[in-house]
Amino acid sequence: MFVESLKCIECGREYAPNAIVYTCEACGGLLDVTYDYSRLEASQLLEIWSRRPLSVWKYQELLPADSSRKVSLGEGGTGLHRCSRLASKLGVKELYVKNEGENPTGSFKDRGMTIGVTKAVELGAKATACASTGNTSASLAAYSAKAGLPCLVIVPSGKIARGKLVQAVAHGAKVLAIKGSFDDALREVRKLCEKRGLYLLNSVNPFRLEGQKTLAYEVCEQLGRRVPDRIVLPVGNAGNISAIWKGFKELRELGITRETPKMMGVQAEGAAPFAHMILQNLDKLTPLDKPETVASAIRIGAPVNWSKAKAAVVESKGGVTVVSDEEIVDAQRELARLEGLFVEPASAASIAGLVKMLEQGVISRDETIVCVATGHGLKDPDIVVRFYEEPFEVESSRVEEVVGRVLGCG
């Protein structure tokens, strides 16, 4: 392993890579895992990688956990789908969707959890814990089960999609549903982890984000060692945008690529504190008390990784946009019907955001664009029941008549 330290992004204080510390003890800043890149040679890395299948652990030289003890369910290696039908509708030259719903528990969180839970075992943790809008809990519950570790998840009561809750329960996590928001749940679980020694696996955990950065390596490889002009993705706690940006920066640092993409974050109208901070050019994030959106995964008012994500947007010369719930559901339907990709509402926000940024002229139509679809559509079946047309109910004796007359496809 080539890991050097955990380093505070605010004051620069460093911690040993095997320390159980989530934020800087001196200033409260977020921590970043640092590596000795000078010991890594691009041609050597590419040679080793060429012999391994596409997956998170393919890139183990750039990961902070011991691959010989990995807790894995076969994460990463998700499809990068060329979306020609949607592209032609939008008038875009080259559009791809990185479909993270193909991960073992159906979301990008698995990339982080394989590293985070491997690390939990390595550090001797007795149990894992997280707060969640759904996917984090589903993923942590599965990886903790695989590792044989008890798992506690705290969710905002009545506010997480049914598919995700069912996963956490099925994998044997202890689920506490609190009266409050995700942000309240995160505050409580952070306190609990400090006091009771549970191992915290929200995205404030710097190791988890290391797993998530592998999406950048995969996209680059799937494009034939090319970097897209834009990565468009939903932003909730703002961990993923930070992680993916780090991945692209590392490829450039190592001399594997020369370019980096512009990172474009999308938030839902009722839960857009990060987008507003960027759009209004503010130094600090102002948390939102009662975030609301149909995209329950990103119903987050106080994104913990905002400062890392701000750096990602600024350094990459990227941007942000805000979309309505209606635009999100429309985008979900379009992607499902034009491309055969069924993604959850938060993921569809990336498509809705692309549509908006094309209209605004922020993104031009001749760019190579990758939208990240962060989670599978089956996670949240209630959305389809609420927003899509009902199945056509008919007496069995009238099927032929109805097909011909009403549906017009007899």
Q: Residue 135 or residue 167: which is nearer to ligand AN7 going by CB? A: 135
Mention every residue, 6+ apart, whose C-beta is less than 8 A from residue 33. 3, 5, 6, 7, 17, 64, 206, 207, 209, 210
User: Does the footprint of ligand AN7 cover residue 210 (CB under 6 A)?
Assistant: no
Q: How far is the CB of 302 from ligand AN7 (least distance, A)?
A: 11
- Closest CA relative to residue 49, chosen from 298, 220, 279: 220
Q: Residue 134 or residue 319: which is nearer to ligand AN7 going by CB? A: 134
Pick from 275, 346, 348, 371 the residue near ligand AN7 by CB under 6 A: 346
CB 200 within 8 A of CB 173: no
Q: What are the residues facing 72 on neighbouring strands?
A: none
Pick from 72, 103, 332, 374 the residue near ligand AN7 by CB under 6 A: 374
User: Does the footprint of ligand AN7 cover residue 136 (CB under 6 A)?
Assistant: yes
Residues of span 95-114 touching ligand AN7 by CB under 6 A? 107
Could you tell me which stretch among 8-16, 192-200, 339-347, 392-400 binds ligand AN7 (CB under 6 A)? 339-347
Q: How far is the CB of 113 from ligand AN7 (least distance, A)?
A: 11
User: Does the footprint of ligand AN7 cover residue 235 (CB under 6 A)?
Assistant: yes
Pick from 114, 128, 135, 167 the residue near ligand AN7 by CB under 6 A: 135
What's the token pair of residue 238?
């703002």
User: Does the footprint of ligand AN7 cover residue 201 (CB under 6 A)?
Assistant: no
User: Does the footprint of ligand AN7 cover residue 247 (CB under 6 A)?
Assistant: no
Mention every residue, 6+ apart, whose C-beta is less than 8 A from residue 126. 149, 150, 197, 198
Convert residues 59-98 into a mask of x (bound to ligand AN7 by CB under 6 A) and - (unbound): ----------------------------------------
Pick from 24, 95, 238, 335 the residue near ligand AN7 by CB under 6 A: 238
Could you tell me which stretch among 57-65, 230-238, 328-336, 393-401 binds ligand AN7 (CB under 6 A)? 230-238
Report the C-alpha gap between 206 and 119 in whole angstroms: 11
User: Does the footprint of ligand AN7 cover residue 237 (CB under 6 A)?
Assistant: yes
Long-range contacts formed by 332-339: CB under 8 A, 24+ apart: 332/377, 332/383, 333/388, 334/86, 334/89, 335/83, 335/86, 335/97, 335/373, 336/377, 338/83, 338/85, 338/86, 338/89, 339/81, 339/83, 339/85, 339/86, 339/97
Pick from 65, 347, 348, 355 the residue near ligand AN7 by CB under 6 A: 347
Q: How far is residue 248 from each of residues 152, 214, 310, measured CA to CA in Å?
A: 33, 9, 16
Provide DSSP, 274-312: HHHHHHTT-SS----SS---S-GGG--SS-TTHHHHHHH
User: Does the footprint of ligand AN7 cover residue 344 (CB under 6 A)?
Assistant: yes
Could you list the residues that contact ligand AN7 (CB under 6 A)?
A: 107, 132-136, 203, 234-240, 297-298, 344, 346-347, 374-375
